[in-house]
Amino acid sequence: MMISRRKEFAVSIAPDLVLGGEAILLMVGPCSVESYAQTRSVAEAVTRAGIRVLRGGAFKPRTSPHSFQGMGKEGLEILRDVADEFGLLVITEALAVAQIPLVAEYADIIQLGSRNMQHYPLLWAAGETKKPILLKRGFMSTVVEWLGAAEHIASRGNEQIILCERGIRTFETSSRNTLDTNSIALLKLLNHYPVIADPSHATGRADLVLPAARAAVAAGADGLLVEFHPEPEQALSDGRQSLPLTKLREFKDEVSHLAAAVGRSVI
């Protein structure tokens, strides 16, 4: 009854780093890149904690056109510069077909967001790059539709696909979304792509992020995408669900204990 891990389908992030193998991969950083200083302070903490992948958004999809929309290309440059200084890898989101070449140039993993899971032209454009693609589940999409979206990417030749469960929309309103651990476990049985979780969006509350991260790992997740910020209460977006950098080491330790119980390590 052990969770099977099929090494042959792991996604190669760097010459010495795979996602979908024995180790659970942490990808950590702020919702939005806000400045060089902010990004650098995150990168320092990430490096100290022995984590390899830095997350951060340069293009932000926002419900209202009047909210902060991200730093754009300048944000990508900051991410790349800081990551290179610390020897980190970068994951960041592309939200338009036209942004794919640019993001592919700066990022090690291209993220496609929940609202875009069925925007097929974007999936096709991502499928034409050679970069690993992190495909977030639509927050109201079934597992079958999610695998259909992955097929749209793969149909253009790119099978370096990582599925990311980020919570679904349900009638429950006490958390922003409902983390669907059943789907994580089901995908480990049904499909060969690695599956990770985003406990920050899946809960929308900083005090639920660690329990959700633990639950995802317990259900079989191969990685975690988590929002950490130097000063969550000052964040330009998603501050309510971000953990402070001062908690990063403790977070990794707690997840590592859980991972050990299912025979895995954490990077």
Question: 3-class DSSP state for residue 25?
Answer: strand
Q: Which of 64/130 has CB closer to a second copy?
A: 64
Q: Is 68 exposed, middle or buried (0-12, 13-18, 19+ CB in 10 A)?
A: exposed
* 175 is a site residue for a second copy (CB under 8 A): yes
Q: How many residues bind a second copy (CB under 8 A)?
A: 75
| Given 18, 90, 95, 224, the residue binding a second copy (CB under 8 A) | 95
* Minimum gap (Å) between residue 51 Cβ and a second copy: 17
Name residues whose C-beta falls within 8 Å of residue 257's C-beta, 6 or more positions apart in sequence: none
Q: By rule CB under 8 A, what string of x and - marks binding of each residue 18-57 to a second copy?
A: ----------------------------------------
Should residue 96 be labelled a site residue for a second copy when binding is judged by CB under 8 A? yes
Is 171 a binding residue for a second copy by CB under 8 A? The answer is: yes
Measure the CA–CA gap between 41 and 244, rounded to whole angstroms: 12
Q: Which among 24-32, 34-42, 158-166, 171-179 is the span making contact with a second copy, rule CB under 8 A?
A: 171-179
Q: What are phi and psi of 24, to 5 degrees?
A: -85, 130
For residue 55, give the nearest of 155, 157, 136 by alpha carbon: 136
- CA-nearest of 115, 91, 114, 85 to 103 is 91
Residue closer to a second copy, measured from CB, 61 or 81:
61
Q: Terminal CA-to-CA distance of the chain, rounded, Å?
A: 24
Find out whether 168 and 139 touch, Cβ atoms under 8 Å. yes
Q: Which of 33, 202, 245, 248 binds a second copy (CB under 8 A)?
A: 202
The Cα-based distances of 115 to 43, 139, 150, 174 in angstroms read 28, 7, 15, 21
Establish if 207 lies at the interface with a second copy (CB under 8 A): yes
Minimum separation from the CB atom of position 229 to a second copy (A): 17
- How many whole angstroms separate alpha carbon 185 and alpha carbon 62? 30
Q: Which of 13, 88, 90, 208 binds a second copy (CB under 8 A)?
A: 208
Residue 42 CA to residue 90 CA, distance in Å, equals 12
Helix (H, G, I), strand (E, B) or coil at 121: helix
Closest CB 113 distance from a second copy, rounded Å: 9
What is the pattern of x (binds a second copy, CB under 8 A) and - over residues 120-149? xxx---------------xxxxxxxx--xx
Q: Does 111 interact with a second copy (rule: CB under 8 A)?
A: no
Site string for a second copy, 73-92 (x = CB under 8 A): --------------------
| CB 124, min distance to a second copy, A | 8
Q: In this chain, which of 220, 223, 230, 232 binds a second copy, going by CB under 8 A?
A: 220
Asked if 65 interacts with a second copy (CB under 8 A), we say yes
Closest listed residue to residue 229, CA positions, set 246, 216, 252, 213: 246
Under the criterion CB under 8 A, does residue 244 sit at the interface with a second copy? no
